[in-house]
């Protein structure tokens, strides 16, 4: 079942065309990576998908409903966790529910019910500076999830983490995503990360940017570190590098 679809998206700023005739789809329960070099238009595309920007052409659908230019339907998490330093972890997580009109206590109760699932139980009354980088990202992902519980747009959420923490977060996120039945579209510049996590990879190239290739990964998940040494991994990486080098 299609959760998020975008058709023939184009966007320019003045005379500078950023994205041209770009389409994609995310199916229910999928993790799809959007891979490309800096400046190719990935973040602009995310801003359009989330309703923060209106495309010059094209449309965005959620469960078949046209939400083009409408914010509030798609969760969007930027590279930094952006937790509010003066609010507790619980109040940070509950913030989307308060914005949507729930009273504070009801929002806190709902958010707290997910703390165990997201691996941050016991930290409700701490402040962001008291958490490790990985725990801050878990809290930020919970806040993102509570904004919209169907589809999440993640813009390099693990890029600031060290290698060991990032590997642990990959494994954790796949488990949580399956448990809460979340569909994810994920921006990354990291080819290894895209191969480890994705069901499918869209490759965005050119100026203006367009999705020029789609790669479906048939190997089972989760894919551990040993997968990085496999022939399958090397074949996928070679295929992606060839596409990027051709551009």
Residues 178-220 have pLDDT tens digits of 888 889 999 988 899 999 999 999 999 999 999 999 999 998 8
pLDDT over 90 for what percent of the chain? 58
Q: What is the pLDDT of residues 166-182, one digit of tens each?
A: 888 888 888 888 888 88
pTM equals 0.86
Contacts by 62-66, CB closer than 8 A, 24 or more apart: 62/3, 62/4, 62/150, 62/151, 63/2, 63/3, 63/150, 64/2, 64/5
Q: What is the pLDDT of residues 77-121, one digit of tens each?
A: 876 778 899 999 999 999 989 988 889 999 999 999 999 988 899
Confidence at residue 247, expressed as pLDDT on a 0 to 100 scale: 62
Q: What is the pLDDT of residues 126-154, one digit of tens each?
A: 999 999 888 988 898 888 888 876 888 99
Count CB-CB contacts under 10 A for residue 216: 8
How would you write the chain as a 3-class SS string?
CEEEEEEEEEEEECCEEEEEEEEEEEECCCEEEEECCCCCCHHHHHHHHCCCCCCCEEEEEECCEECCCCCCCCEEECCCCCCCCCCCHHHHHHHHHHHCCCCHHHHHHHHHCCCCCCCCCCCCCCCHHHCCHHHHHHHHHHHHHHHCCCEEEEECCCCCCCHHHHHHHHHHHHHHHHHHCCEEEEEECCHHHHHHHCCEEEEEECCCEEEEEEEECCCCCCCCHHHHHCHHHHHHHHHHHHHHHHC
Confidence at residue 149, expressed as pLDDT on a 0 to 100 scale: 65
């Amino acid at each position: 079942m299609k959760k998020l679809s975008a058709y023939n998206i184009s966007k320019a700023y003045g005379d500078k065309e950023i994205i041209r005739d770009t389409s994609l789809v995310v199916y229910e329960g999928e993790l799809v990576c959007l891979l490309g070099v800096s400046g190719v238009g990935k973040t602009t595309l995310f801003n359009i998908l989330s309703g923060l920007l209106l495309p010059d052409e094209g449309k965005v659908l959620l469960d078949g409903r046209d939400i083009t230019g409408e914010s509030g339907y798609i969760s969007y998490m930027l590279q930094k966790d952006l937790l509010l330093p003066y609010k507790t972890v619980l109040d940070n997580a509950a913030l989307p529910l308060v914005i949507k009109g729930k009273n504070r206590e009801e929002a806190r109760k709902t958010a707290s019910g997910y703390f165990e699932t997201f691996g941050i139980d016991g930290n409700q009354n701490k402040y962001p500076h008291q958490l490790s980088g990985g725990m801050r990202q878990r809290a930020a992902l919970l806040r993102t999830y509570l904004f919209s519980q169907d589809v999440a747009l993640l813009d390099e959420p693990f890029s600031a983490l060290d290698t060991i923490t990032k590997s642990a977060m990959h494994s954790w996120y796949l488990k949580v995503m399956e448990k809460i039945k979340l569909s994810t579209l994920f921006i990354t510049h990291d080819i290894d990360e895209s191969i480890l996590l994705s069901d499918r990879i869209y490759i965005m190239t050119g100026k203006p940017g367009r999705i020029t290739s789609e790669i479906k990964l048939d190997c089972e998940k989760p894919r551990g570190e040993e997968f990085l040494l496999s022939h399958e991994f090397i074949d996928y990486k070679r295929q992606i590098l060839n596409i990027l080098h051709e551009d």
